[in-house]
Amino acid sequence: MDYELGNILLDGRTISRKVAEIASEVAACYSGKEFVAVGILKGAIFFLADLVRSLPSDSLVKIDFMAVSSYGASTKSSGIVKIVKDLDTDIRGREVLLVEDILDTGLTLSYLQELLKGRSPRSLRTCVLLDKPDRRRVDAHVDFRGFSIPDEFVVGYGLDYSGYWRNLPDIHVAKAIENTVKNTQPKE
């Protein structure tokens, strides 16, 4: 099954406004406190970058990354989480904000939350840009939430299909198409 770029679900301006709104909430929560923003690669890279750039200049934020795999080449999570790149920062006794692009089944996010809690941070809060509540299989607590979206496969603003379309400024629905010839590049 291949995919083609479909309609825009969330345009770049709408996303920017929501990110600024979330940044205000995050800034109020961490006012006067140093915290570590942990972005989950690769999908959260644009969201994390825009989020921390929207914080006030006096915010005391450090950035680190984790890379996990639960999708492989599929469009649905396997439920098996593999740590591909771990944190470089010791989070013991620190304020931590986990930043993820999308909350889908909850399996990956709940796994990461438990993993990071086991490292004894002072606090662990979670921020997601997109939430697909209809796909939830496991509860995962979220402190800062952007948009609730329908159960559609989405790409753009960091989200991808086989590595493509992350660079799009808008979030699009990706539509499945029948393809009799195997092609690794998406149709546009």
**Hey, which residues are catalytic here?**
104
Quickly tell me which residue has 């006030």 as its tokens: 56
DSSP sequence for 117-137? HTT--SEEEEEEEEE-GGG-S
* Amino acid (one-letter) located at 71: Y
CA 101 from centre of chain = 1
Q: On the CB side of 178, how many CA atoms lie within 13 Å of its CA? A: 1
Can you list the pairs that 47-50 forms with residues at least 24 positions away whose Cβ atoms lie under 8 Å? 47/19, 47/99, 47/101, 47/129, 47/157, 47/158, 48/99, 50/16, 50/19
Peptide bond into 62 cis (omega under 30): no
Quickly tell me which residue has 């986990």 as its tokens: 98
